[in-house]
């Protein structure tokens, strides 16, 4: 094997990082890609080589997500579209994953018609530098110093402001993040006619994305039915419903007592038992349409929104016997 | 005059604060109330006395906002409903004011049908203690200390998290803040059948509220027309349109150059020229309905969302000759 280019510490373990070379793919069952979009994306450069060497490729990048012959997969939702012959599988964008995990069970029950989504996305979605940027700005704010910012990270200081601008601007004034949410959701739910419109916003939170979701359905559904579906792990795998029954405003003050929480927040995904789950709360009937619901959806953008989903795809492939491995 | 109970410094000026007594209302043209809701609200206690003493009463509190015989007023939108005989005038909730300032000009053009609103509301909307709460939590975060919180302020730490819970929970899982947005908007726009649904969320920002607004209209309107209307002070008083024409992702990095800003954020309302304005950006066609738009609306919740609106009501009354005064 080649000499390691560098050593990284991941989860307290030293990991040797090698430069990618064609011969390194030989004998691998599965290769994970986490590449940038465009011509230089990791999967664009290397997936073909890895597939020729006999490996399955799972891509966390956005290069191939909308390719008709590449399955775009959230295991809880549409693992059934993957066959043994699909050598390249794409994992969706973070904000899409939590949305479809929460909505797919309701879509199966009542068929989604239209979605209006507003997001509250943490800085970690833009990488390590973005987290350092917010941390540095917090220090400046606390010290009473002028807030400085690196425009190559966010267009403005994120400490403390909400920036309605994630990824680049694209068609008709929408950002790429907004268009990803539209197009990827349609593909995963196999609902090309589903109407979706979104505004995606960066908020001064370190980890975890939240989404205010207004969902209109074609068939009858109400908040009670939605809560029943979302609280059943068989019907809504990967979902934790946190929708407190109490109207006592003091009840929510007690953290560490899940049964008393009335709604999830981004900080809840730091709990060990919820770190890979999609948390749903604030389930309400929207009486302004025939069959409408409002929901609040939260997940860890780094775990379920990225790494966890990719690992879960590989685990599901092992379970289906595509290759051998330990789940 | 009675002895001052205490002295406060407001805008570098010492102001003497007296305990409210009936005789203090004599000879006043106008009295401003900023009271709590419910039986102990300032206007509930004193408005009748002030009116009997001959004063006009302008109430920033929520006690009388939905009373059919009390005008609920945003001067740019519906000052025409106020007559000389209206002795008590209510000023709306912060999140409602900026919404109607932005939407009324579009409503006049194309008649609103349905609104889906998600808010990003700063902590100052919950008072001085809430700002201190966030400041204290920022210090703890920067120092690496455990974050503590006072559950009488927010149900959870707001540093750094988004909390989908503003004011108390009310009917059908909606909060009072959400219901205010629905009911007050309908009243101000004189559109009792307007469909509105909302999710209101507290974000870790000190001052300024933002709103992601999805608006469906009954008559044709598109983003270009909306931008034209919103950029015309005669058609959209109180509005500043900040909707950058450039697709250069570096252009937004330049602060202090309004023509290069592509969208407003909460921090923009700290600029002197915009502090009393409602800033609108991210105007986009929503192709999922016949006539739909997405908008991003920002204003200072303490100024236009509260104090400024109340003062502007008084100024408009002076201009109409209801009482004498200097505008």
Q: ipTM of this model?
A: 0.93
Contact B252 A156 (CB under 8 A): yes
Question: Is residue B310 predicted with pLDDT exceeding 50?
Answer: yes
Residues of chain A with CATH 3.30.360.10: 95-302
A288 vs B214: CB contact, 8 Å cut-off?
no
Cross-chain residue pair A156–B205, CB shorter than 8 Å: no
Q: Which two tokens stand for residue A286?
A: 């929207």
Closest CB to A114 among B263, B267, B288: B288
pLDDT of res. B191: 98
Q: Are A118 and B212 within 8 A, CB to CB?
A: yes
- What DSSP state is assigned to residue B305? I
pLDDT in tens, A158-175: 999 999 999 988 888 999
Yes or no: say if B141 and B159 are a contact pair by the CB < 8 Å rule. yes
| Positions of CATH 3.40.50.720 in chain B | 6-92+308-319
Span of B35-44, B206-215, B244-253 with lowest mean pLDDT:
B244-253
Report the C-alpha gap between B197 and B214 in whole angstroms.
10
Angle between helices A176-188 and A94-110 (to 10 degrees): 40
Mean pLDDT of B274-291: 96
Note the pLDDT of residue B157. Answer: 94
The C-alpha of A210 sits at a distance from chain B's nearest C-alpha, in angstroms, of 8
Chain B neighbors of A283, CB-CB under 8 A: 173
Residues of chain A found within 8 Å of residue B161, distances taken between Cβ atoms: 205, 265-267
Q: Is the pLDDT of residue B259 over 50?
A: no
- B57 tagged catalytic: no
Residues of A in contact with B195 (CB under 8 A): 288-289
CA nearest to B276, candidates B300, B311, B242:
B300
**If you count residue pairs, one on A and one on B, with CB atoms under 8 Å apart, how many are there?**
167
pLDDT for B141-155, tens place per residue? Answer: 999 999 999 988 998
Residue pair A251/A178 in contact (Cβ under 8 Å)? The answer is no
Please answer yes or no on whether B165 and A262 come within 8 Å at the CB atom.
Answer: yes
Confidence of residue A205 (pLDDT cuts 50, 70, 90): very high
Handedness of CA B195, B201, B203, B208 (dihedral sign): positive
CATH 3.30.360.10 is the classification of domain A95-302: yes
Catalytic status, residue B94: yes
Tell me: pLDDT of B59 over 60.
yes
DSSP states of A220-280: ---HHHHHHHHT-TTTSTTEEE-------TTGGG-TT-GGG--S--GGGGGSGGGTTSEEE
Looking at residue A169, what is its pLDDT? 85
Catalytic residue among B18, B26, B57, B94: B94
Domain with CATH 3.30.360.10 in chain B: 95-300
Which fold, B95-300? Dihydrodipicolinate Reductase; domain 2 (3.30.360)
Q: b/e per residue, A223-235, with b = 16+ CB within 10 A?
A: beebbebbbeeee
Angle at B52 between CA B42 and CA B310, to 5 degrees: 45
Chain segment A39-53, per-residue pLDDT in tens: 568 899 999 999 999
Cβ-proximal residues to A324 (8 Å cutoff; 6+ apart), any chain: A29, A318
Class of domain B6-92+308-319 as given by CATH: alpha beta
Contact A169 B262 (CB under 8 A): yes
User: d(Cα A130, Cα A189) in Å, to the nearest integer?
Assistant: 31
Q: Which of B250, B281, B282 lies closest to A151 in CB terms?
A: B250
> Residue B142 — φ and ψ, nearest 5°?
-65, -35
- Owner of token pair 């349609």: A186
Q: Give chain A positions within 8 Å (CB) of B262.
A: 165, 169
């Amino acid at each position: 094997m080649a000499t390691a280019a560098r050593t990284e510490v991941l989860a307290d373990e030293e990991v040797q990082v090698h430069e990618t070379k064609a011969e390194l793919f030989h004998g691998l069952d599965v290769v994970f890609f986490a590449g940038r979009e465009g011509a230089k994306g990791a999967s664009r450069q290397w997936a073909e080589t890895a597939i020729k060497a006999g490996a399955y490729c799972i891509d966390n990048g956005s290069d191939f997500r909308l390719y008709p012959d590449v399955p775009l997969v959230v295991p809880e939702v549409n693992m059934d579209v993957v066959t043994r012959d699909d050598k390249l599988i794409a994992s969706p964008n973070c904000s899409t994953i939590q949305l479809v995990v929460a909505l797919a069970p309701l879509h199966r029950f009542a068929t989604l018609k239209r979605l209006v989504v507003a997001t509250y996305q943490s800085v970690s979605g833009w990488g390590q530098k973005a987290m350092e940027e917010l941390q540095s700005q917090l220090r400046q704010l606390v010290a009473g110093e002028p807030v400085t910012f690196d425009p190559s990270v966010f267009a403005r200081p994120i400490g403390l402001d909400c920036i309605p601008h994630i990824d680049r601007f694209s068609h008709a004034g929408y950002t790429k993040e907004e268009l990803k949410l539209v197009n990827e959701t349609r593909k995963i739910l196999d609902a090309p006619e589903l109407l979706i419109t979104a505004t995606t916003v960066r908020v001064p939170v370190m980890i975890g994305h939240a989404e205010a979701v207004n969902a209109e359905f074609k068939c009858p559904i109400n908040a009670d039915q939605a809560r029943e579906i979302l609280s059943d792990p068989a019907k809504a795998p990967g979902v934790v419903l946190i929708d407190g029954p109490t109207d006592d405003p003091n009840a929510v003050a007690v953290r560490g007592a899940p049964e008393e929480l009335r709604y999830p927040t981004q900080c809840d995904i730091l709990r060990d038992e919820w770190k890979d789950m999609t948390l749903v709360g604030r389930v309400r009937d929207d009486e302004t349409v025939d069959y409408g619901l409002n929901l609040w959806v939260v997940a860890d953008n780094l775990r379920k929104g990225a790494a966890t989903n990719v690992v879960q795809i590989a685990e599901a492939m092992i379970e289906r016997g595509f290759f051998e491995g330990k789940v």
